[in-house]
A and B are shown apart, each in its own frame.
Chain A
Amino acid sequence: MSDSLSRSGAGLQETRKLPSVVSRLWVLSRATFGRLALVVVLGLGWQWLADSGLLNPLFFGAPRGILDRLYDGLIVTGVLLPDIWASIVATLIAFALGSVGGIGLGLLFAIFPRGGGFFEPFLTAFNALPRIALAPLFILWFGLGLPAKIAVGVSLSIVILLSSTLAGARSVDADLLVLARTLGATPTQVFFRITLPSAVPTIFSGLRLGLIYSLLGVVSAEIIGSVNGLGVQLTQSAGMFDTNGVFAILIILAFLGTVLTWAMNILEKRLLRWR
């Protein structure tokens, strides 16, 4: 009797635990399902417009053709894979260099505000410059390979990280600085124990943006001139009136950007548990 009672008790606990997991999965899948449904409905509508002749497939393409291109380029011939790889590598290198440089410079500016003040107008001027316009110059200097793409990516991401690092370092809670003063904290302690950790959340939003802008810089450089990469495929497809090919590349780019942002979000959640 007591045995059956305790067993039913355990069962109760389990059923109490189970629904929360199930409901969480259900909420997740419901949102995912909704998003997929939206894509399918839009795709079908587009296909119908193309089939009925309301949209000229020569200019607007059609989902069936785009899927064919993707399937062909990614799986059957794999012709897009080396270009995808080339763009990803260039993006990650540009992001890494831009982040290290931007955060490093931002922290230097924060530690030496007078020096920071001196360079700030130059920074504003550089930031106002359309960096894509520098691409032809970089190609002239570095050729059609990897370095030119990286240079364009870095020119975008470094400024984003510099300004977000600086903004973060300047947004330190004044109370914490008073506390540090009354404790007799050294400037080094204030920097590592208070200023830097205060800046981390702002730096992270800069990193998320910097990653996307690195991809943007790299692909733009490829469009202007390169030996490989998704940007090259994009111009080639457009040049040959292969609208489906262009859309296929755009979908890959959007997917890459989403995956990169998602990875950053996971990292941020891990590192900023205290928020």
Chain B
Amino acid sequence: MVPNSGLPEGSEGNAAIAVRNISHEFAGGRATLSHIDLDIAKGEFVTIVGPSGCGKTTLLNLMAGLLSVQTGSLTINDHCPTAGSRETAYMLARDALLPWLTTRQNAEFGAMITGQGAAERRARALNLLRKVGLDTFEDAYPKALSHGMRQRTALARTFCLQAPILLMDEPFGALDAQTKLQLEEALLSLWQTERRTVVFITHDLGEAIALADRVVVMSGRPGRIAAIIEISLPRPRSIRLLQKDPKFHELYAQVWEQLEQGLNG
């Protein structure tokens, strides 16, 4: 399997997510999305960047089944997305931890709701907490955790679900640069071992490039796809080392140019 391949023509059957000519309007006739076409392959890591209000979250919510499709078609593994399906896991910008549960219980929460066995989900949760560096905090309540630790718990909760597709809405948007770097590394190493399909929204271009196989650049109001840029950086990647990689900066300039064109056009 080549995880960073874009989809060639005529191979839609392999797409985990197929977006066809999607447009979306909110009440009052304000268009947020216009004619979006996008195929995302199984095991692919796609990031979406764009100015605020360009409909990134709307697109993600359509994929999650939180909004219903108005025009066009959108399929997840060849059928319509529904909220609460076992195929997708959603990670919010805010941690959405349950304050009355401990770190371990929070990490297990999604798996518990989706009906995984107690012993199995507990083992998974503890394993994931170790991977995100929170195993010594398993009995702490969220109030005792820092912002970054809370978001790491939410990351463990998302990965504890066995959903093959992860939809992430600016999960690290509110973190400081240092914490963000730690979480990006944690996310990459988790993804590296399981290779699930990821759609990741961010407003941070560096983050978008460092994580992705492809970066989707959107332009604003109504949101259109301005460009899709292949990120041919080798994996496994180290986010820290990428900062010194000339290829990374080349790609950054390329994405930035597309974004700027989208802003002006």
Contact = CB atoms under 8 A, between A and B. Distances in A.
Contact of B100 (A178, A185, A197): A197
B141 A197 contact: no
Nearest to B99: A274
A179 B92 contact: yes
Interface residues of A, number: 19
Contacts of A75: none
B156 interface: no
B64 interface: yes
Nearest to B90: A182
Contacts of B141: 273-274
B113 A183 contact: yes
Interface in A174-188: 175-176, 178-185
A178 B84 contact: no
A8 interface: no
Most B Cβ at <10 Å: residue of A173, A175, A184: A184
A175 B100 contact: no
A138 B190 CA distance: 67
B110 A178 contact: no
A173 B114 contact: no
Chain A contact surface mostly: helix
Contacts of A194: 98
B94 A182 contact: no
B118 to A, nearest CB: 15
B143 A179 contact: no
B66 A182 contact: yes
Nearest to B140: A274
A268 to B, nearest CB: 13
B237 interface: no
Interface string B96-109: 10111100000001
Interface in B62-94: 64, 66, 83-86, 88-90, 92, 94
Contacts of B96: 173, 175-176, 178-179
A275 B92 CA distance: 23
B100 A181 contact: no
Contacts of B101: 274
A235 B148 CA distance: 62
A274 B66 contact: no
Interface in A143-190: 173, 175-176, 178-185, 189
Contact of B98 (A176, A178, A181, A189): A176
Nearest to A194: B98
A35 interface: no
Report which residue of B92, B109, B113, B114 has the largest number of chain A beta carbons within 10 angstroms of its beta carbon.
B113
A180 B109 CA distance: 10
B83 A181 contact: yes
A217 B109 CA distance: 43
A193 interface: yes
Contacts of B113: 180, 183-185, 189, 193
B114 A182 contact: no
Q: Which of B94, B99, B101, B142 has the most CB of A within 10 A?
A: B99
Contact of A182 (B83, B99, B143): B83
Contacts of B92: 175, 178-179
Contacts of B109: 193
Nearest to B141: A274
Contacts of B85: 184
Given A189-B113, A273-B141, A182 B84 contact: yes
A274 B143 contact: yes
Contacts of A274: 99-101, 141-143
A104 B120 CA distance: 35
A197 B84 contact: no
A183 B84 contact: yes
B214 to A, nearest CB: 24
B99 A275 contact: yes
A179 B100 CA distance: 16
Contacts of B110: 179, 183
A180 B143 CA distance: 21
Contacts of A273: 141
A120 B92 CA distance: 35
Contacts of A178: 66, 90, 92, 96
A182, A185, A193, A274, most chain B CB atoms within 10 A: A182
A275 B143 contact: yes
Nearest to B169: A178
Contacts of A197: 98, 100
Per CB-CB distance, the 7 closest pairs between chain A and chain B, nearest first, are: A184-B84, A182-B90, A175-B96, A274-B141, A183-B113, A274-B100, A179-B96
Given A178-B96, A181-B83, A274-B141, 17 more contacts: A173-B96, A175-B94, A178-B92, A179-B90, A179-B110, A181-B66, A182-B89, A182-B90, A183-B110, A183-B114, A184-B84, A184-B85, A184-B113, A185-B84, A193-B113, A197-B100, A274-B99
Interface of A: 173, 175-176, 178-185, 189, 193-194, 197, 200, 273-275
